Amino acid sequence: MDRRRYLGGAGALGIGAIAGCTGLTGSQGSGVDTGDGGKSRPPTADGEGLPVPESELRRGAPKDAIPAITDPEFAADWRDQEWSLSDGDQVVGVARGGEARAYPLSVLNWHEIVNDELDGPLLVTYCPLCGSAVTAVREVNGQETTFGVSGFLYMNDLVMYDRLTDSLWSQILATAIRGDRTGDTLELLPSSLTTWRAWREEYPDTVVLLPPPASSTVNGRDVRRDYGRNPYAGYEESRRIGIGGSYDDDRLHPKAIVIGIEGDGVSRAYPLEAVAAAGVVNDTVGGRPVVVTVARDDTLVAYERTVDGEPLEFAAGNARTMTASGSRWNRATGRAIDGPHEGTTLAPATEKSPMFFFAWLDFTPDTEVYGT
C-alpha cells in the first residue's frame, strides 16, 4: 500500500468493497454526528467527555471478526512465505531492548493488532481507516493482558478491548473510553511508520512478523488472508471518510499524510508534501522548539530540537541526514552521527504516528496546519 503521498482520483474500490473485504459495515462521518448538525469532540486530557456515550460508537463488525495476532512468529524475511515482502512495503518498526522488529501493513491491514513480547509486553496496532500506528506497553492496571479488535469504531478509529477487564480503548487516544478502566491510558512506546527497505537500513539485524498461519490469532492458526492483496486499495486516494461520511475542511485532502505535534494548548499538523518541499522545518509549538523532516521513503519524523538547553537550527543535509551546530543528524533516528554532538539523540516531538489528516483533525479539531 503506497500511503506516502495523496495521488488523487476516485480509487479502484469503493468503500462498500472495502467493507466487504474486512467485515466492516455501517457508516460514520468525520467525527461523530451529534444529531443537530454538529460533530462531537473527543475527550479532553483531564477526562472530560468520558466515558464516551455508547451512541458515539459504531458497530462495524462482530467482536474478533478482525482477528488480532496473539502468538507472533518472526524471521529475517518472507523468503519461505507464500507472499512476498517488497522493499517499498510499509511496516511499523519497533526497536527495544537491543532488538528490532518490523510489522508489515500487509499483515496489519487484516489483523490490526499484534500482541507481542519485546523487552516486556508489547502492543502493536494499526488502523487502516485512519492510517495510524500506535505501539504501547501491553498492560492494563499494571497487569499484562491481551488486546483484541472490538469491532467498534470511534471517530472512524479502531476500538480495542482488553481481555483482563473487557474495557474499550481508543487506538489513537491510547485511552480506555468505556468499561472498568475508563480514563486509564496506555504507556506509549516509540515506533516508526516507514518502509521495509528504510527500516532494514537502520536496523540490518531486524526480524519481520510472519503472516498467519505461521503466527497465531485469537481464532487459532487456521486464519488465513490474502496478504498479497490490499483490502483497502483505492481508499487513501478517495475523499471518503471511514465507512462513509463527509469531510468539509478545505485546507488539505482528507487522506493527506500529516504528523501532528501538540504543546501547551496548541496543535499543529505538518503535511508530508509541505515538509518534503521545505526539506527541514524548524518550528515552535506551544513554546516547544521542534524540527520536522522527511526520512528515507517519505517517512515523516518530528523531534524536539533543544539540546543542552539550547534550541538548534537545522538545515537539510542529504537524503538521510540533516545538519545543526556542526553535526550531522540521522533523519530517521534523530541521532547525531559526527561533530560536537556525536552520539546525542533528539527526543521525539510526538508519540503519535503520521496519519491521514482527517483522523488527526477528528481527534484535534482545533488544529493548525503548517503551510496553510
Same domain, yes or no, for 352 and 285?
yes
Are residues 203 and 304 both part of a single domain? no
Asked, for residue 329, whether it belongs to a domain, the answer is yes
| Domain endpoint, select from 190, 217, 244 | 217
Amino acid (1-letter code) at residue 204: P
Among candidate residues 187, 217, 247, the one where a domain is terminated: 217
- Cell 499483515 belongs to residue: 107
CATH number of the domain at 268, please. Answer: 2.102.10.10
| Residue 356, domain member (yes or no) | yes
pLDDT at 11: 32
Residue 239 lies in a domain: no
Asked if 158 and 263 sit in the same domain, the reply is no
Q: How many CA atoms lie within 13 A of 246 on its CB side?
A: 6
Instruction: For the chain, state the CA radius of gyration.
Output: 20
Residues 65, 113 within the same domain: yes
Q: Strand 192-195 relative to strand 69-71: parallel, antiparallel, unpaired?
A: unpaired
Instruction: Write out the chain's pLDDT in tens, 372 residues.
Output: 344 443 333 233 333 334 433 444 333 344 555 444 456 789 988 889 999 999 999 998 999 999 999 999 999 999 999 999 999 999 999 999 999 999 999 999 999 999 999 999 999 999 999 999 999 999 999 999 999 999 999 999 999 999 999 999 999 999 999 999 999 999 999 999 999 999 999 999 999 999 999 999 998 877 889 999 999 999 999 998 887 666 899 999 999 999 999 999 999 999 999 999 999 999 999 999 999 999 999 999 999 999 999 999 999 999 999 999 999 999 999 999 999 999 999 999 999 999 999 999 999 999 999 999
Q: Could you give the CA distance from residue 15 to residue 40 in angstroms, rounded to a whole number?
A: 23
Structural domains of the chain, count = 2
pTM for the full predicted model: 0.91
- In a shared domain, residues 182 and 320: no
Judgement on whether residues 115 and 261 belong to the same structural domain of the protein: no
Q: Which of 3, 28, 33 shows the shortest CA–CA distance to 15?
A: 28
**Does any domain span residue 37?**
yes
Strand-strand pairing, 132-137 and 139-140: unpaired
228 within some domain? no
Report yes or no on 10 lying in a domain.
Answer: no
Taking the alpha carbons of 74, 76, 80, 84 in that order, is the dihedral positive or negative? positive
Report if residue 234 sits inside a domain. no
End-to-end alpha carbon distance in the chain: 27
CB count, 10 Å around CB of 318?
Answer: 9
| Boundary-marking domain end, from 217, 238, 267 | 217
Q: Cell triple for residue 149?
A: 479488535
Cα separation, 239 vs 11, whole angstroms: 9
150 and 36 in a common domain: yes
Same domain, 45 and 154: yes
Is residue 346 assigned to a domain?
A: yes
Whole domain around residue 295: which residue ranges? 257-369
Residue 299 is which amino acid?
T
Pair type for strands 299-304 and 306-307: unpaired
Q: Is 28 in the same domain as 149?
A: yes
Same domain as 286, residue 341:
yes
Q: 193 and 273 share a domain?
A: no
Q: Any idea which residue has 488480532 for its cell?
A: 68
Same domain as 274, residue 128: no
